[in-house]
Structure 1
């Protein structure tokens, strides 16, 4: 039987819309581009303030979370830890987020700002400073705040609430179970189409740059469409192969390799370019960016009509482009970010890629401006309008330029593959509602669709129409992202209150009546055998008595017991809410060397010590119960049960106590 994990409610309408838009763009590229361009220009001119305010809110919101009490919350259970090393994590999110763009615009954007007449005929120093400032602005914290908000929302609701890794899940605090119906499908269809269009146009432009570089190096005679077919066929084939191996292998390995190559190319240009000038201009440029941060953030150029067209074509276009890409990049970032704290996530996503982008744009962009002024006498300015070839023309001013150009092509190729394979992974993830395992033919299907449609659009000249379509979708999605903030803040408020909840006033503190017995326990040897015995006697007897008393009150409690490692728990099962669980397990703890050598501390074990750790079904912080008597342990269980009943009685805690997570993944 033909197996598939694709969800018809998401896949079918998405394919209809994608194919319809693509066919129109291929058959009527000029008309489609004209119509969509009119709509895009109307939005950019009349509704540009929506983008400005939206991006500003994203930055402010993430900075607030960074310094708030919510920053310590983990993207997952309280005891979860990251699945990937810090370097691999940064490499993957960086490669998926802006890889090809850095290679395409690293020289092109600063040079185009430098040669622009938008700011008047100012001195070249001011032109160079403005070029660097606005490049920092477009590729810095604001851009990554857009990606970061979507990635944070997705990973929080997926790993903390056990919801599907899907945009619909970000609305759960607002829509509750309605996210499983039509509204949820609409949100995912929007995300899938936006992701497909964004990747298709980016890959199309990436192919052109690769083809242009190969022509400049005389590897291919021209930029004929047949060569572009060959390039796409080979690279998408590699992307499919990488996607089939999964995130932990293909995507991670390629990302690590590429970041290493990128750093090597960066250092090459830094050392063989105008090094002192670059270090000084980076320092001054960073200070200039910090000083103008708020002016840039809220700037609309409303008082400077001469620069308005530039503002629409650059800043607003960038905000729309990053927003349209955020479902794809956000989903991928979320997929690799399980176990990070919110503070760690925001700090890493906002600062590290932004800082690297600043260094990259300074080294390449400012080198190009310096060469243009001091060596080339305006030669690079003359080709500033040809970004496909500009990077390679720039490298001609450096030694070993052919090797550097080959390295650049290799980096673009790997970025192409990592963007495509992570895109394939994300699209299949959306279309299947985060299925754990999908048949291989689906991965091949997504890769084939990307290759075929990007080539058709490239050949027919329909990429610009598709790009306009992608930018138009950014307007409604910016409003959706504002709702993400509302939803996330609501969930975080409940989350924090849930884990801060104290015991009720009816609970009693630890009694001091048995202090002599407790002192003996404190100084006694705490090896594994003694702790195992404590669990198998005191804890087991306490749980057995509790089980019998619960039964007397019409409550069915079960006891789960295992010997290696020694572990016992009492469980009260429920149908609509999470089970109540109170467990105890033998846990090892290291002892400091100085304590072992301390003569006033009797019977300290050289290999460490053990203690009975109480744990709970909702992964709250555990603690040591070794000094509890049987009755005190019974009392402690009842304290937690009393707290449990109080929490489940409050409707606002539904997200934490609902046990229908398996239904949400259907």
Structure 2
């Protein structure tokens, strides 16, 4: 272990342990300096003073990703010339989608649209307009923007690692700008920031997963209350399971779990599509997709300088999501890069942007659309039930109104559990890479160490403040890493320009 780990491991692990210890200190011991109080103040400052920065950053990443698709750099191979993709399309999509937003999609699939339907981001006329806005913003928060963020970092990592033979580290992507400085202190700082963004981004998802599994068990057995204690037990049990998965390696545990995730998601989606209001769902999807594309520019830059009363909605939804995706970028980006060797830049960006976006839109249309249909067409107050049991219970509340609710609830709990295991397993792999100099096969003890840390972090955040604490952690962790992503864009442009200049020479040599 001592021979493989780097300074980033020891520095990050020490700070993470201090954070966990800080989190378990009782509030009365340090009333003004407890974890929840301090992080809440930091989060409040960031979203009120730098909300515009999160919006501009996320949109800039998407614009750059779209530019790469139509640029002359699209034919560059993420690997050596002649390299073939390691995984077929189905497995590739399954792995990147499972790592990208699996738990969150299940958690918010019904909860977000019904929430926007009852509390729109701005004043609307009538329920029909509220319904259109609700689904459009759900598409917006889970569509092209998050995958644009993931695509930039994943592309940079894959390019520099597989084509330039650099270590698979975040710091390696900045070498064109800073040279060998990234091998020393600069690199240690960048990689440590990436480790913490990963820990908090993944901890948010693990916390959401624990909340929803707990809620689902309460729907199955009324004697089980959705309490923090039950959520902590779930985290402990799933921690053991994902550590067992980590023992099997990337090509077995994560690969098979990712395929299982896709199958379970498709089964649940198909059930809701045909058991629910099918015609309404597909009409809703179609019209919202067009509205999403049409309104994408205005939504991307929307702030509320003249409507301070709407700031809370923007900060609680859009800014939180952009921060969450940025915090997830090191984890998802490194994982997607690892499984994308051999694809071209154009193929990679199109696949990463479009396939998950379209499937996510269909998912929201099916589950969110069914929830809204129950309120709009059948006068059922789904939102009041959600407010009583929490956002994590929205999906189960919808399922109760359709046939075979016990079976679909159990399948949903199973799906969340496999997503939980996949995300945590993938994160231990990524954190292991980042703290062992970019090793593609990190030391098992290193991965298990990070597994314990990320689960403990999720547990501490849940214990400190539930969903609010999870959101706070993501927003704080994302702020410094957003600057790293901006630098990566400039680094990629510089490297691609050099690649374009040298490519004709390499082509001429091959012809000779």
The TM-score normalised by the length of structure 1 is 0.73
Cα distance between partner residues in 1 of 2:342 and 2:192 = 28
Partner of 2:329: 326
Residue pair 2:461, 2:469 contacting (<8 A) in 1 also: no
Partner of 2:231: 228
Which residue of 308, 311, 319 maps to 2:311? Answer: 308
- CA apart distance, 1:222: 2.4
Cα distance between partner residues in 2 of 1:129 and 1:230 = 39
Partner of 2:361: 358
Partner of 1:5: 4
Instruction: Give the secondary structure class of the aligned counterpart of 1:47.
Output: helix
Of 465-474 and 111-120, the range deviating more from structure 2: 465-474
- Change in CA separation of 1:361 and 1:384 when aligned onto 2, cut-off 3 Å: farther
Partner of 1:399: 403
Partner of 1:424: 428
Q: Does 1:383 align with 2:397?
A: no
For CA contacts below 8 A with separation 6 or more, give which structure has more relative contact order. Answer: 2
Written as runs of structure 1 = structure 2, the 5 A alignment for 1:160-309 is 160-218=163-221, 221-224=224-227, 227-309=230-312
Instruction: Give the secondary structure class of the aligned counterpart of 1:221.
Output: coil
- CA apart distance, 1:389: 1.2
Partner of 1:409: 413
Of 174-183 and 19-28, the range deviating more from structure 2: 19-28
Q: Does 1:492 align with 2:491?
A: no
The two structures, once aligned, show a CA RMSD in angstroms of: 2.0
Which residue of 145, 157, 160 maps to 2:160? Answer: 157
Cα distance between partner residues in 1 of 2:344 and 2:454 = 35
- Change in CA separation of 1:463 and 1:485 when aligned onto 2, cut-off 3 Å: same
Written as runs of structure 1 = structure 2, the 5 A alignment for 1:131-150 is 131-150=134-153
Partner of 1:16: 14
- CA apart distance, 1:241: 1.8
**Can you list the C-alpha shifts for 1:137-156, whole angstroms capped at 9, x where unaligned?**
10110111011111111111
Cα distance between partner residues in 1 of 2:21 and 2:159 = 38
Residue pair 1:244, 1:443 contacting (<8 A) in 2 also: no
Q: Does 1:130 align with 2:110?
A: no
Residue pair 1:59, 1:142 contacting (<8 A) in 2 also: yes
Q: Does 1:622 align with 2:510?
A: yes
Partner of 1:585: none
Structure of larger gyration radius = 1
- Change in CA separation of 1:359 and 1:437 when aligned onto 2, cut-off 3 Å: closer
Cα distance between partner residues in 1 of 2:454 and 2:152 = 27
- Change in CA separation of 1:447 and 1:62 when aligned onto 2, cut-off 3 Å: same
Cα distance between partner residues in 1 of 2:272 and 2:242 = 29
Partner of 1:615: none
Q: Does 1:81 align with 2:69?
A: no
Partner of 2:341: 338
Of 233-242 and 55-64, the range deviating more from structure 2: 233-242
Which residue of 20, 25, 28 maps to 1:27? Answer: 25
Cα distance between partner residues in 1 of 2:55 and 2:230 = 41
- The gaps in structure 1 that reach 5 residues or longer are 502-617, 624-635, 637-666
Residue pair 1:33, 1:462 contacting (<8 A) in 2 also: no
- How many matched pairs? 506
Written as runs of structure 1 = structure 2, the 5 A alignment for 1:258-657 is 258-384=261-387, 386-461=390-465, 464-465=468-469, 467-501=471-505, 622-623=510-511
Residue pair 1:148, 1:346 contacting (<8 A) in 2 also: yes
Residue pair 2:118, 2:383 contacting (<8 A) in 1 also: no
Q: Which runs of 4+ in 1 moved over 6 A?
A: 618-621
- CA apart distance, 1:248: 1.2
- CA apart distance, 1:117: 5.5
Partner of 2:68: 65
- CA apart distance, 1:267: 0.7
- CA apart distance, 1:234: 2.8
Residue pair 2:17, 2:453 contacting (<8 A) in 1 also: no
Residue pair 1:111, 1:381 contacting (<8 A) in 2 also: no
More helix by share: 2
Residue pair 2:80, 2:163 contacting (<8 A) in 1 also: yes
- CA apart distance, 1:35: 2.5
- Change in CA separation of 1:157 and 1:279 when aligned onto 2, cut-off 3 Å: same
Instruction: Give the secondary structure class of the aligned counterpart of 2:396.
Output: helix
Residue pair 1:424, 1:443 contacting (<8 A) in 2 also: yes
Cα distance between partner residues in 1 of 2:111 and 2:509 = 52
Cα distance between partner residues in 2 of 1:277 and 1:253 = 34
Cα distance between partner residues in 1 of 2:393 and 2:322 = 25
**Can you list the C-alpha shifts for 1:526-583, whole angstroms capped at 9, x where unaligned?**
xxxxxxxxxxxxxxxxxxxxxxxxxxxxxxxxxxxxxxxxxxxxxxxxxxxxxxxxxx
